[in-house]
């Protein structure tokens, strides 16, 4: 049975990174079934960059509402069995989709599978470090550790069974930060998590993504409250 994959790329004023991000999906060793770019009211060149890929992507423009609303727009449009989230400034390694599909076919009980990742500079060829994600053996431990600590893995590394979003609900629109953390807490109670211990994403560290780290404890606590 063929597993279909949708990749959603929420983008707000990251037009200067967007082409490289889209290209990283197009370069997959296992082609995805659809790429959905959600422009969250960008005022830069995002629409122009996206327009040059209209033969390969679906482009959705919406008024600015934050990452959660952009992700929800992508989920509602997606048709794949599995949904991947790729931030518009991050990159997939070429075998990311292939390795995750191999994993879920061997572990059919898993509803979410994530990976390690590289932290890179503004130039994605500059690898700063390899980030190793946490892993636990059962849902109860996952829920306990998530509530005790924090996010534990990067959203751009995830592949999630699409139907689960309609079981636990979509991303909370009121969460402008830590919306991924809130989602992982809810999903931990609904499905098993799987882990591929390979760095299959490049997470780009640059000045534009530092703002949301100003009050991490406050953001995490709000995410816990809304579960």
Neighbouring residues of 21: CB distance < 8 A, sequence distance ≥ 6: 9, 14, 86, 87, 88, 89, 90, 91
Residues 143-171 pLDDT 10s: 777 777 777 889 999 999 999 999 999 99
The token pair that represents 221 in the structure block = 């606590």
Neighbouring residues of 69: CB distance < 8 A, sequence distance ≥ 6: 40, 62, 171, 173
Instruction: Tell me phi and psi for residue 22, to 5 degrees.
Output: -60, -45
Statement: the pTM of the whole predicted model exceeds 0.85: yes
Answer yes or no: is pLDDT of 224 > 50.
Answer: no
Find where tokens 């004023």 sit: 13
Residues 90-148 pLDDT 10s: 999 999 999 999 999 999 999 999 999 999 999 999 999 999 888 887 888 887 777 77
pLDDT score of 45: 97
144/58: higher pLDDT: 58
Evaluate whether 112 touches 85 at the Cβ level (below 8 Å).
no
pLDDT score of 130: 94
In three-state secondary structure terms, 8 is: strand
> What's the rounded Cα separation, in Å, for the pair 29 and 179?
30
Q: How confident is the model at residue 219 (pLDDT cuts 50, 70, 90)?
A: low
The token pair that represents 80 in the structure block = 């794949």
In three-state secondary structure terms, 43 is: coil
The token pair that represents 150 in the structure block = 């924090």
pLDDT score of 115: 97
Residues 62-105 pLDDT 10s: 999 999 999 999 999 999 999 999 999 999 999 999 999 999 99
Residues 165-191 pLDDT 10s: 999 999 998 877 778 889 999 999 999
Instruction: Tell me phi and psi for residue 123, to 5 degrees.
Output: -85, 115
pLDDT score of 143: 76
How far CA 48 is from CA of 19, 27, 38, 67, 135, in Å, comes to 10, 21, 13, 20, 40
Average pLDDT, the chain: 90
Domains annotated on the chain, with CATH: 5-225 (3.90.550.10)
The token pair that represents 140 in the structure block = 């109860």
What percent of the chain clears pLDDT 70, i.e. is strictly above it?
A: 90
pLDDT score of 139: 80
Answer yes or no: is pLDDT of 221 > 80.
Answer: no
In three-state secondary structure terms, 41 is: coil
Answer yes or no: is pLDDT of 31 > 80.
Answer: yes
Residue whose C-alpha is closest to residue 172's, from 224, 113, 218? 224
pLDDT score of 23: 98
């Amino acid at each position: 049975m063929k597993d279909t994959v949708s990749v959603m790329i929420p983008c707000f004023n990251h037009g200067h990174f967007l082409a490289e991000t889209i290209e990283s999906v197009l370069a997959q060793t296992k082609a995805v079934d659809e790429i959905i770019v959600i422009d969250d009211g960008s005022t830069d060149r995002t629409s122009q960059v996206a327009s040059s890929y209209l033969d390969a992507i679906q482009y959705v423009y919406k008024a600015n509402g934050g990452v959660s609303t952009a992700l929800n727009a992508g989920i509602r449009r997606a048709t794949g069995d599995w949904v991947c989230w790729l931030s518009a400034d991050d990159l997939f390694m070429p075998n990311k989709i292939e390795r995750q599909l191999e994993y879920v076919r061997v572990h059919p009980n898993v509803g979410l599978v994530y990976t390690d990742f590289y932290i890179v500079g503004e130039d994605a060829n500059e690898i700063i470090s390899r980030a190793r994600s946490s892993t636990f053996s059962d849902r109860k431990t996952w829920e306990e550790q998530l509530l005790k600590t924090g996010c534990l893995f990067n959203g751009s590394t995830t592949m999630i069974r699409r139907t689960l979003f309609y079981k636990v609900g979509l991303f909370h629109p009121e969460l402008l930060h830590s919306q991924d953390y809130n989602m992982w807490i809810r999903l931990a109670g609904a499905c098993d998590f799987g882990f591929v211990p390979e760095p299959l994403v490049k997470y780009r560290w640059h000045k534009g993504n530092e703002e949301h780290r100003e009050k991490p404890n406050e953001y995490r606590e709000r995410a816990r409250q809304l579960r």
